[in-house]
Amino acid sequence: MIWKLNQLFTETENAREETQDWKNEAAQLKMEVAVTELVLEDAQIKLKAALKEVEVAKTVEASAVQHIRGGF
């Protein structure tokens, strides 16, 4: 009987430790997700800025071509 109680106690402790490990891993993954979201947001901002620069460059190029062709 005591052996069974000790076995149950050991299994319970092992389950608690495993649960805590899972909680720690989940917390770590949540942190990684948050960092990834920030990196993605930064990349999106930089991409929008780059696309805007491309639009401006195209406009300047079109204006220069028109100017060269004498279209003032």
Q: State pLDDT tens for residues 7-44.
A: 999 999 999 999 999 999 999 999 999 999 999 999 99
Q: What is the pTM of this model?
A: 0.65
Q: What is the reported pLDDT for 72?
A: 60
- Cα–Cα distances in angstroms (integers) from residue 2 to residues 7, 14, 16, in the given order: 8, 18, 21
Q: What is the reported pLDDT for 70?
A: 84
Q: What is the reported pLDDT for 71?
A: 64
Coil, helix or strand at residue 19: helix
pLDDT in tens, 36-72: 999 999 999 999 999 999 999 999 999 999 999 886 6
